[in-house]
Amino acid sequence: MEKTIIIATNNEGKAKEFEALFNAYDYSIKTLRDFPDIEDVPETGETFAENALQKATAISKMLDAIVLADDSGLEVDALDGKPGIYSARFAGEHGNDKKNNEKLLKELENVPKEKRTANFHCTLALVGPGKEPLFVEGNVDGYILFEPRGKYGFGYDPLFYLPKFDKTMAELPQEEKNRISHRAKAIEKLKSHLNEWL
Protein backbone atom coordinates (compact mmCIF):
# COMPACT_ATOMS: atom_id res chain seq x y z
CA MET A 1 0.00 0.00 0.00
CA GLU A 2 3.10 2.19 -0.09
CA LYS A 3 2.47 5.31 -2.19
CA THR A 4 -1.24 4.46 -2.59
CA ILE A 5 -4.17 6.64 -1.58
CA ILE A 6 -7.61 5.13 -1.15
CA ILE A 7 -10.52 7.32 -2.26
CA ALA A 8 -13.46 6.31 -0.07
CA THR A 9 -15.97 5.96 -2.88
CA ASN A 10 -17.35 3.40 -5.34
CA ASN A 11 -17.95 6.21 -7.83
CA GLU A 12 -15.34 6.01 -10.59
CA GLY A 13 -16.17 9.55 -11.77
CA LYS A 14 -15.33 10.94 -8.35
CA ALA A 15 -12.10 8.97 -8.22
CA LYS A 16 -11.03 10.35 -11.62
CA GLU A 17 -11.32 13.89 -10.26
CA PHE A 18 -8.64 13.02 -7.68
CA GLU A 19 -6.42 10.86 -9.85
CA ALA A 20 -4.50 13.60 -11.67
CA LEU A 21 -3.89 15.43 -8.40
CA PHE A 22 -2.26 12.48 -6.62
CA ASN A 23 -0.43 11.19 -9.70
CA ALA A 24 1.55 14.42 -9.59
CA TYR A 25 2.95 13.22 -6.24
CA ASP A 26 3.64 9.67 -7.56
CA TYR A 27 0.76 8.22 -5.58
CA SER A 28 -1.55 5.73 -7.22
CA ILE A 29 -5.27 5.72 -6.53
CA LYS A 30 -7.52 2.91 -5.42
CA THR A 31 -11.24 3.10 -4.63
CA LEU A 32 -13.58 1.01 -2.50
CA ARG A 33 -14.26 -1.05 -5.62
CA ASP A 34 -10.78 -2.50 -5.10
CA PHE A 35 -11.81 -3.69 -1.63
CA PRO A 36 -15.21 -5.37 -2.04
CA ASP A 37 -15.06 -6.84 1.50
CA ILE A 38 -15.24 -3.42 3.14
CA GLU A 39 -18.76 -2.67 4.31
CA ASP A 40 -20.32 0.77 4.14
CA VAL A 41 -19.30 2.99 7.02
CA PRO A 42 -22.47 4.44 8.59
CA GLU A 43 -22.53 8.24 8.46
CA THR A 44 -23.85 9.30 11.85
CA GLY A 45 -22.16 12.71 12.10
CA GLU A 46 -24.05 15.98 12.34
CA THR A 47 -21.80 17.85 9.92
CA PHE A 48 -20.15 17.17 6.56
CA ALA A 49 -16.74 17.18 8.30
CA GLU A 50 -17.80 14.60 10.91
CA ASN A 51 -19.15 12.26 8.23
CA ALA A 52 -16.06 12.58 6.03
CA LEU A 53 -13.77 12.00 9.03
CA GLN A 54 -15.78 8.95 10.19
CA LYS A 55 -15.51 7.36 6.77
CA ALA A 56 -11.82 8.16 6.25
CA THR A 57 -10.77 7.08 9.75
CA ALA A 58 -12.63 3.77 9.73
CA ILE A 59 -11.24 2.73 6.33
CA SER A 60 -7.73 3.97 7.14
CA LYS A 61 -7.68 1.75 10.25
CA MET A 62 -8.98 -1.27 8.33
CA LEU A 63 -6.40 -0.95 5.54
CA ASP A 64 -3.57 0.80 7.41
CA ALA A 65 -3.45 3.29 4.53
CA ILE A 66 -3.96 6.94 3.57
CA VAL A 67 -7.65 7.52 2.86
CA LEU A 68 -9.45 10.52 1.39
CA ALA A 69 -13.19 10.76 2.04
CA ASP A 70 -15.65 13.44 1.08
CA ASP A 71 -19.08 14.36 2.25
CA SER A 72 -21.04 16.79 0.18
CA GLY A 73 -24.54 18.03 -0.29
CA LEU A 74 -26.92 20.82 -1.12
CA GLU A 75 -27.76 23.58 1.38
CA VAL A 76 -30.86 25.64 0.57
CA ASP A 77 -31.18 28.95 2.43
CA ALA A 78 -34.99 29.02 2.47
CA LEU A 79 -34.95 25.55 4.11
CA ASP A 80 -32.45 26.54 6.82
CA GLY A 81 -29.63 24.67 5.11
CA LYS A 82 -31.56 21.49 4.34
CA PRO A 83 -31.17 18.91 2.85
CA GLY A 84 -27.51 19.34 3.93
CA ILE A 85 -25.93 16.10 5.19
CA TYR A 86 -29.15 14.28 4.28
CA SER A 87 -28.93 15.29 0.60
CA ALA A 88 -28.59 11.74 -0.74
CA ARG A 89 -31.51 10.46 1.36
CA PHE A 90 -33.69 13.58 1.56
CA ALA A 91 -36.83 11.75 0.41
CA GLY A 92 -36.08 8.71 2.58
CA GLU A 93 -34.50 6.31 0.10
CA HIS A 94 -30.73 6.64 -0.32
CA GLY A 95 -29.65 7.83 -3.78
CA ASN A 96 -33.11 8.20 -5.35
CA ASP A 97 -32.38 11.41 -7.30
CA LYS A 98 -35.87 11.66 -8.78
CA LYS A 99 -37.63 11.49 -5.41
CA ASN A 100 -35.10 13.81 -3.76
CA ASN A 101 -35.63 16.43 -6.48
CA GLU A 102 -39.41 16.10 -6.25
CA LYS A 103 -39.30 16.59 -2.49
CA LEU A 104 -37.05 19.64 -2.84
CA LEU A 105 -39.42 21.26 -5.37
CA LYS A 106 -42.41 20.49 -3.12
CA GLU A 107 -40.75 22.12 -0.10
CA LEU A 108 -39.91 25.21 -2.16
CA GLU A 109 -43.33 25.38 -3.82
CA ASN A 110 -44.29 28.89 -2.70
CA VAL A 111 -40.79 30.33 -2.47
CA PRO A 112 -40.13 33.10 -5.04
CA LYS A 113 -37.14 32.98 -7.39
CA GLU A 114 -34.98 35.50 -5.51
CA LYS A 115 -35.33 33.55 -2.24
CA ARG A 116 -34.28 30.19 -3.75
CA THR A 117 -30.55 30.71 -3.10
CA ALA A 118 -28.51 27.61 -2.35
CA ASN A 119 -25.00 26.24 -2.33
CA PHE A 120 -23.35 22.94 -3.11
CA HIS A 121 -20.88 22.14 -0.32
CA CYS A 122 -18.03 19.63 -0.18
CA THR A 123 -15.77 18.73 2.76
CA LEU A 124 -12.74 16.51 2.16
CA ALA A 125 -10.97 14.67 5.00
CA LEU A 126 -7.53 13.14 4.43
CA VAL A 127 -6.48 10.62 7.08
CA GLY A 128 -3.37 8.45 7.37
CA PRO A 129 -1.57 6.30 9.95
CA GLY A 130 0.14 8.53 12.51
CA LYS A 131 -1.01 11.76 10.84
CA GLU A 132 -3.34 14.56 11.91
CA PRO A 133 -6.49 14.63 9.74
CA LEU A 134 -6.52 17.35 7.07
CA PHE A 135 -9.83 19.06 6.21
CA VAL A 136 -10.63 21.31 3.23
CA GLU A 137 -13.93 22.69 1.95
CA GLY A 138 -15.37 23.97 -1.31
CA ASN A 139 -18.64 25.74 -2.15
CA VAL A 140 -20.54 26.78 -5.28
CA ASP A 141 -23.42 29.27 -5.03
CA GLY A 142 -26.54 29.20 -7.16
CA TYR A 143 -30.34 29.06 -7.21
CA ILE A 144 -32.90 26.26 -7.21
CA LEU A 145 -35.07 26.35 -10.35
CA PHE A 146 -38.79 25.54 -10.53
CA GLU A 147 -38.20 22.58 -12.85
CA PRO A 148 -35.21 20.43 -13.87
CA ARG A 149 -33.00 21.28 -16.87
CA GLY A 150 -30.13 19.39 -18.47
CA LYS A 151 -29.10 15.80 -19.02
CA TYR A 152 -25.66 15.58 -17.42
CA GLY A 153 -24.61 15.09 -13.84
CA PHE A 154 -26.61 13.50 -11.06
CA GLY A 155 -28.35 14.35 -7.79
CA TYR A 156 -29.66 17.92 -7.66
CA ASP A 157 -27.64 19.06 -10.70
CA PRO A 158 -30.74 19.57 -12.95
CA LEU A 159 -32.28 22.01 -10.43
CA PHE A 160 -29.10 23.87 -9.44
CA TYR A 161 -28.81 27.02 -11.57
CA LEU A 162 -25.50 28.88 -11.93
CA PRO A 163 -26.15 32.55 -12.86
CA LYS A 164 -22.55 33.01 -14.04
CA PHE A 165 -23.05 30.36 -16.76
CA ASP A 166 -26.81 30.84 -17.27
CA LYS A 167 -27.01 27.03 -17.01
CA THR A 168 -27.83 24.37 -14.49
CA MET A 169 -25.09 22.07 -13.24
CA ALA A 170 -26.74 19.36 -15.40
CA GLU A 171 -26.37 21.48 -18.56
CA LEU A 172 -22.60 21.64 -18.16
CA PRO A 173 -20.54 18.88 -19.80
CA GLN A 174 -18.68 16.71 -17.26
CA GLU A 175 -15.28 18.31 -17.93
CA GLU A 176 -16.61 21.80 -17.33
CA LYS A 177 -18.50 20.75 -14.21
CA ASN A 178 -15.32 19.11 -12.88
CA ARG A 179 -13.52 22.43 -13.25
CA ILE A 180 -16.02 24.57 -11.33
CA SER A 181 -17.75 22.19 -8.91
CA HIS A 182 -17.68 22.36 -5.10
CA ARG A 183 -15.47 19.25 -5.19
CA ALA A 184 -13.10 20.93 -7.67
CA LYS A 185 -12.78 23.92 -5.33
CA ALA A 186 -12.05 21.63 -2.36
CA ILE A 187 -9.45 19.75 -4.46
CA GLU A 188 -7.79 23.10 -5.32
CA LYS A 189 -7.45 23.85 -1.60
CA LEU A 190 -6.18 20.34 -0.94
CA LYS A 191 -3.40 20.93 -3.50
CA SER A 192 -1.97 23.78 -1.49
CA HIS A 193 -1.64 21.64 1.68
CA LEU A 194 -0.74 18.32 0.14
CA ASN A 195 3.03 18.61 -0.15
CA GLU A 196 3.43 19.42 3.52
CA TRP A 197 0.94 16.76 4.67
CA LEU A 198 2.32 13.89 2.57
Of 59, 32, 52, give the one whose Cα is nearest residue 138: 52
Tell me what the mean pLDDT of segment 105-118 comes to. 96
The domain defined by 4-197 folds into: Maf protein (3.90.950)
Report pTM: 0.89
Q: Is 64 a catalytic residue?
A: no
Q: Residues 7, 68: contact at Cβ < 8 Å?
A: yes
- Mind listing the pLDDT tens digit for each residue in 175-198? 888 889 998 899 989 988 988 888
Q: Is the pLDDT of residue 14 over 80?
A: no
What is the distance in angstroms between the CA of the first residue and the CA of the last residue of the chain? 14
- Mind listing the pLDDT tens digit for each residue in 115-165? 999 999 999 999 999 999 999 999 999 999 999 999 988 899 999 999 999
What b/e readout covers 111-144, taking b as 16+ CB neighbours within 10 angstroms? beeeebebbbbbbbbbbbeeeebbbbbbebebbb
Which of the following is catalytic: 71, 77, 141, 166? 71
Q: Is the pLDDT of residue 13 over 80?
A: no
20: pLDDT confidence band, cut at 50, 70 and 90? Answer: confident
- What Rg, from alpha-carbon coordinates, does the chain have? 17
**Who's near 113: CB < 8 A, 6+ residues apart?**
143, 146
